[in-house]
Amino acid sequence: MLTGGPLDVLTGDYLAELTMLILGRDRLKNPDLGYAKTFLRQLEEGLGLAHERGVRIVANAGGLNPAGLADAVRDLAAKAGVPVRVAHVEGDDLTARTDGALTANAYLGGAGITACLRAGADVVVTGRVTDAALVSGPAAWWFDWAAGDHDRLAGAVAAGHVLECGTQATGGNYSFFARHDVRRPGFPLAEIAEDGSAVITKHPGTGGAVTAGTVTAQLLYETQGVRYLGPDVTTRLDTVRLTDEGADRVRITGVRGEAPPPALKVGTTRIGGWRNEVVFVLTGLDIEAKADLVRAQLAEVVEGVADAVWTLARTDHEDAGTEETASALLRLVVRDPSPDRVGRALTSTAIELALGSYPGFHVTAPPGPAQPYGVFTSTLIPSHEVPHTAVLPDGTRLAVAPTAPTAHAAPPEDPAAPPARGSGDGSPAVRTARAPLGAVAGARSGDKGGDANVGLWVETGPAWDWLHRTLTVDAFQALLPETAQHAVTRHELPHLKALNFTVTGILGDGVASGQRFDPQAKALGEWLRARHLDIPVALLPAPEATP
């Protein structure tokens, strides 16, 4: 990013929910740690170049110890002979207020970053801020926006949300990846204007692509509802408009902002207990019977474990040409407050079945010791109770006042779907064909604690009319039966031709607990795209001509 073209601010998002758990365990071992050490290794290569080119660096790599990271950056700069001014933002760490928590951090906004940059900082490191604050904070500094410039701030938040996952906005993890060369996608950048609008692009000559589709996919990622709540502004995602401005240039306009809510989100991680797993390989015939035998043989052993989950993945094929494709996987995951009950004693018992169980017995890996797993929860705390503090380059501590909240209008109602054609409304019946949903729709999915979201978008007006009418909550749950027992909410983003579904509680205690096969719901959208339903033939891509 430093060598590929002009930049004013280089940002870095280092903190995921799972990262906070990892940093919390680091801090237990050494109180001087708790920050992302990889950030320092990257600065060794880039700090001098950034200073030479006048590029500010803003990163949340401070994690649980932003002051410690700021000191480490100063030490690194001194050794390298680079005269940079370093500031940091703190106040998010509320662990001391929370009984039994490994970490507890409020999600701060970008105002502390703005204050540090206004004071002349070249490098700003923070703890837990919202991902988009890494962009909205510098934008507010650059244009001298006020706290009440909600529309401008909301536009910057939208741009920040697009940038936060790096190459996910330039073709990475993209449903229609085959349209572009995404072997080495370049990182995205935002050209932000004074009115809050932005152009998403990338440096010339870098791989991947920036299109309305790649930007839409990232806008749908890990969001819940049309109102994207933040500590500086509430961003109305249902007002976002995208315009394709040529090769690798997509403009974001029309974003409306409202005052932020009166409370901040607090993410808390705890050690939930201990887990272990064994994966048995079942090959050839009688797969179900083989699985039943293993379950019966281990029933007494797992009876005293707090939680034991068996999953049989039928990856086998009939009359398979390779042994691997003739095999299914039987996975046992055990969790318990005690490491002894799910440690080697249990996994060794499973392995001791090797000569007295089903034919062809083997496992994918040797048994290991029990491993701790985390539990992520989120709560709310009034904004004024969090000591958001900017520590300026000269050491001055500046208290950052929360933005005054206001009541929001009621969210827009989900409009009734238009009547299906040919259902008695006088219109002719539409010819349909059975096909995967992904033939017409892209998807992006992810996690928010124990909840998952699945965003889907289409590229044409007729496809949007069909998707809006067809993919109700009931239809969504029928296509994804694993969501049927959970509350599902549908949100509409008509300017993006998109629907966003939130599935409450499907991820249990969150990614750190490793409860599901796909613990962060990263592939939930791709599973949905692979499901078949009746789609109007006119919407389906034309079959390729036979040579």
Together in a domain, 282 and 368: yes
Together in a domain, 235 and 185: yes
480, exposed or middle or buried, with CB in 10 Å at 0-12, 13-18, 19+?
buried
User: In this structure, is residue 137 part of a structural domain?
Assistant: no
Question: Which pLDDT score, from 0 to 100, does residue 224 have?
Answer: 85
Q: With 80 as the cut, is the pLDDT of residue 419 above it?
A: no
Percent of the chain with pLDDT over 90: 84
Question: What are 67-104's pLDDT values in tens digits?
Answer: 999 999 999 999 999 999 999 999 999 999 999 899 99
Q: Return all residues near 296 (Cβ < 8 A) that are at least 6 apart.
A: none
Together in a domain, 248 and 312: no
Together in a domain, 441 and 526: yes
CATH of the domain at 357: 3.30.70.380
The whole-number average pLDDT for the span 188-192 is: 98
The whole-number average pLDDT for the span 344-354 is: 87
User: In this structure, is residue 135 part of a structural domain?
Assistant: no
Together in a domain, 217 and 193: yes
Together in a domain, 232 and 292: no
User: In this structure, is residue 87 part of a structural domain?
Assistant: yes
Question: What are 119-168's pLDDT values in tens digits?
Answer: 999 999 999 999 999 999 999 999 999 999 999 999 999 999 999 999 99
Together in a domain, 108 and 190: no
Q: With 50 as the cut, is the pLDDT of residue 14 above it?
A: yes
Together in a domain, 52 and 98: yes
Together in a domain, 10 and 118: yes
> How does residue 405 score in pLDDT terms, banded at 50, 70 and 90?
low
> How does residue 304 score in pLDDT terms, banded at 50, 70 and 90?
confident
8-state DSSP, 480: S
The parent domain of residue 42 ranges over 1-129
Question: Which pLDDT score, from 0 to 100, does residue 515 have?
Answer: 66
Domain end point (choices 229, 262, 295): 262
Question: Which pLDDT score, from 0 to 100, does residue 516 have?
Answer: 75
User: In this structure, is residue 409 part of a structural domain?
Assistant: no
> How does residue 413 score in pLDDT terms, banded at 50, 70 and 90?
very low
Number of domains composing the chain: 4
Q: With 90 as the cut, is the pLDDT of residue 335 above it?
A: yes
129, exposed or middle or buried, with CB in 10 Å at 0-12, 13-18, 19+?
buried
Question: What are 175-189's pLDDT values in tens digits?
Answer: 999 999 999 999 999
Together in a domain, 278 and 255: no
Question: What are 427-448's pLDDT values in tens digits?
Answer: 567 899 999 999 999 999 999 8
The whole-number average pLDDT for the span 5-27 is: 93
Together in a domain, 121 and 18: yes
Domain end point (choices 231, 262, 293): 262
Q: With 70 as the cut, is the pLDDT of residue 420 above it?
A: no
Q: Return all residues near 341 (Cβ < 8 A) that are at least 6 apart.
A: 274, 304, 305, 306, 334
User: In this structure, is residue 418 part of a structural domain?
Assistant: no
Of the candidates 185, 138, 136, 130, the one whose C-alpha atom is nearest the C-alpha of residue 159 is: 136
Predicted TM-score of the model (pTM): 0.91
User: In this structure, is residue 353 part of a structural domain?
Assistant: yes
User: In this structure, is residue 123 part of a structural domain?
Assistant: yes
Question: What are 29-56's pLDDT values in tens digits?
Answer: 999 999 999 999 999 999 999 999 999 9
Summary mean pLDDT of the chain = 92
Question: Which pLDDT score, from 0 to 100, does residue 544 have?
Answer: 67
The whole-number average pLDDT for the span 256-267 is: 96
Q: With 60 as the cut, is the pLDDT of residue 408 above it?
A: no
Together in a domain, 119 and 156: no
Burial 519-540 (b: 16+ CB within 10 A, else e): bbbeebbbbbbeeeeebbeebe
Domain end point (choices 228, 262, 296): 262
User: In this structure, is residue 28 part of a structural domain?
Assistant: yes
